[in-house]
Amino acid sequence: MQFRGYQDLRSRLVSRELTCEQVIGSYLQRIDTHRDDNIFTAVFHEKALERARELDGKLQRGEALGRLFGMPIAIKDNIAMNGAPLSCASKILAGYESVYDATVIIRMEAEDAIFVGRTNMDEFAMGSSNENSAIGPVPNPFDKTRVPGGSSGGSAAAVANDLALVALGSDTGGSVRQPAGFCNIVGLKPTYGRISRYGLVAFASSFDQIGLLAGNCDDAALVLGVIAGLDERDATSSHHDVTDYEASMDHLSLEGLRIGVPSAFFPESLNADVAGVVRAGLKKLEDAGAVLVEIDLPESDYAIAAYYILVTAEASSNLARFDGARYGYRSPDSNTLSDMYVNSRTEGFGDEVKRRIMLGTYVLSAGYYDTYYKKAQQVRRVFQDRYREALEKVDVIAGPTSPFPPFGIGDKMDNPLEMYLADVFTVPASIVGMPAVSVPVGFDSLGLPVGIHLICNFFEEGKMLGIARSLQNFCQPVGSN
């Protein structure tokens, strides 16, 4: 049972050709056949079917149907769902269950979505390959020896393998967009503050955003419209009106649209296949009437350095709460309170998380604060100015999502710096807080997916998704796979 996006599924439910129970049953069955792929940390077999039957009853009684009626959705394992395990793919949260629902969960449930399970990820969303997971890696759907990207690798693999129509992820520096690029699907990070983060486990709070992974832009726009908007439980959520994203997509005209192409996004070191596929995608937009404009974003080289100073600083503080006393894992053999803290954290956290806590503590320490943390904050401000200036001249900034195609499992695990470079094109939008999306546009010579990355001005998600949809349709006509 396969669908050409949610509208296809919905019309077959509403016409009673299928029931929610049949649809969810078939998704759960497919999830089970992928059990060895490690995509899910928990699957809601009974609960999802029970909910499906409830929704079938609603349809039979002729009640009004929610906007996401019967949509099978997967949730990254760092977003709280009442009564469900919340592990962040970390040993330190083993056995922990959420005691409340995240705002996004409440909003989707109110629109009749069905949650099928929770997805694997890099521990505490730190990573670009899903390999930093206490429950192991996830294979890329196009080549099982390669990574699906990260940190929302499970969410991306779930959508790409059609185990959910849409998945939620979190994106601090690229964790929704990069895995979407690696798995040939759409990955959207909204404007900072657009989607409430109430119930998202914090990694780096001035960057963290909940984002969406979907097979196409229409499904992403629909779900964004449901979960976006002010939430009094998240002080960083924005008062800005939620627009009709689907209408903005429909109103978009490519004629005369100015697409900024920074030379910094096409360095000599860029993988040649990736450069070729991305340039070919941009050419299609040009053929449809858009204008490609070369732009200069001179500070691009500093993005990774600034990002890793700022996020590790915030992480070192956010992760202080996991101390063995309050959540999940507690080391069994400690004689004093302080031993209990040290042992629980030493045994509970994985290597990458420990590396970041140590780095973050260092850059915040008295002697180094000005040299690293304060300097990185200043760089962040320069980025914000540059991107604002650039987006006064162009409608959108475009480039590759990742500098290389999906890499082999294990290839970068011994070289954290190389792993960090995977984020070189996604991190700037996170530094400035602007919305960005990765769209599938083709394949390299080995048949591995390549994504284009688009950045728009604050709160221009509708326009951005409109451009993304055109690109996806030009490069990968619906129904072609």
Shortest Å distance, C-beta 152 to ligand GLN: 8
**DSSP string covering 335-347:** SSHHHHHHHHHHH
Q: Which stretch binds ligand GLN (CB under 6 A): 39-47, 104-112, 124-132, 221-229?
A: 124-132
Write the interaction track for ligand GLN spanning residues 351-390; mark x where CB under 6 A is met and - where it is not.
----------------------------------------
Which of the residues 128, 151, 300, 430 is marked catalytic?
Answer: 151
Q: Which stretch binds ligand GLN (CB under 6 A): 121-129, 237-245, 435-443, 447-455?
A: 121-129
DSSP label of 242: P
From CA 122, how far away is CA 134, in angstroms rounded? 8
Helix (H) or strand (E) holding 452: strand 449-455
- Relative to beta strand 436-443, strand 186-189 is antiparallel
Write the interaction track for ligand GLN spanning residues 137-166; mark x where CB under 6 A is met and - where it is not.
--------------x---------------
Shortest Å distance, C-beta 475 to ligand GLN: 25
The reply on whether position 179 binds ligand GLN by CB under 6 A is no
Active site residue 205: no
From CA 230, how far away is CA 236, in angstroms rounded? 9
Which of the residues 90, 152, 175, 438 is marked catalytic?
Answer: 175
Shortest Å distance, C-beta 476 to ligand GLN: 25
Active site residue 438: no
Is residue 371 classed exposed, middle or buried when 0-12, 13-18 and 19+ CB atoms within 10 A define those classes? Answer: exposed
Q: Which stretch binds ligand GLN (CB under 6 A): 91-99, 123-131, 363-371, 378-386?
A: 123-131
The reply on whether position 127 binds ligand GLN by CB under 6 A is yes
The reply on whether position 423 binds ligand GLN by CB under 6 A is yes
Ranked by CB distance to ligand GLN, the top (closest) residue is 175
Shortest Å distance, C-beta 184 to ligand GLN: 19
Rg (C-alpha) for the chain, rounded Å, is 21
Q: Which is nearer to ligand GLN, 218 or 423 (CB)?
A: 423
Structure-token match 């000005």, residue found: 370
From CA 376, how far away is CA 353, in angstroms rounded? 21
Write the interaction track for ligand GLN spanning residues 193-232; mark x where CB under 6 A is met and - where it is not.
----------x-----------------------------
Number of residues interacting with ligand GLN: please give it, by CB under 6 A: 14
The reply on whether position 172 binds ligand GLN by CB under 6 A is yes
From CA 194, how far away is CA 180, in angstroms rounded? 20
Using DSSP, state whether 393 is helix, strand or coil.
Answer: helix
Distance of CA 112 to the CA centre of its chain: 22
Shortest Å distance, C-beta 366 to ligand GLN: 25
The reply on whether position 125 binds ligand GLN by CB under 6 A is yes
* 8: its two tokens: 């296809």
The reply on whether position 171 binds ligand GLN by CB under 6 A is yes
311-330: contacts with ligand GLN (CB under 6 A): 311
From CA 159, how far away is CA 39, in angstroms rounded? 10
From CA 168, how far away is CA 369, in angstroms rounded? 35
Residue 175: name the closest of 154, 156, 150 by CA: 150
Strand partners, 439: 452
DSSP label of 140: B
From CA 150, how far away is CA 208, in angstroms rounded? 14
Active site residue 98: no
The reply on whether position 103 binds ligand GLN by CB under 6 A is no
Shortest Å distance, C-beta 361 to ligand GLN: 17
From CA 381, how far away is CA 248, in angstroms rounded? 30
Active site residue ranges = 76, 151, 175
User: Using CB under 6 A as the criterion, which residues of the chain lie in contact with ligand GLN when the complex forms?
Assistant: 125-128, 151, 170-175, 203, 311, 423
